[in-house]
Structure 1
Amino acid sequence: MKNLKPIRERLGLTQQALAAGIGCTQGNIGHYERGQLMPKPRAERLISFAQALGLPLSYDHVYGDVALPDLVQAGAILVPVVAQPCDAKCPVTAVASAKRAAAK
């Protein structure tokens, strides 16, 4: 999957940090970056995670040839994340909620 590394680099994350954010291992990220197809549920988590960090993505960015957008908020603060699905108390959810509130 040729698009994951540019996405990860645009977010300014290590393989380990991205893995923690989407609920997989660093080894999985390495495999995806070397061409293994990312399963759709994991791509959905990647899209949600990237959007919470200010990078609006779609399946076309993950699987297709669409150019990556710029970060919505330059210099966004990255918060530690946990390798589990997000709920209302999740730091990623909190960042996304704060961004939505600021935009209103």
Structure 2
Amino acid sequence: AGYRAMYALSAEKGYHLWHSDLRSDDSPLEANLGFVCRKSGDYQGRQAVENVRVQGLRKRLAFFTLEDKVRLNGLEAIWRNDQVVGYLRRGDYGFALDCP
């Protein structure tokens, strides 16, 4: 198995890849990683996490499946009600689901 298999399997499992799914401008809460942020005690970055909790999420990491088998390269627009609401960071084939 090569790196493409690892990418596809990580997408199916919901594991995040640095630079593909997550970037330095994503907060842990926006990346669905809030469970790793303690709610008590002090740590580096706590104030930034608390600010996001108070102000709300600007973006959210989400997973999609497609009915059509099309190749996705990333950075495709995500449309909802005739408006662009986000961008795809990564697209991979799900072998267990047999769909992109």
- TM-score over 0.5 (shorter chain): no
The TM-score, its normalising length taken from structure 2, stands at 0.26
The TM-score, its normalising length taken from structure 1, stands at 0.26
Q: Which has the higher helix share?
A: 1
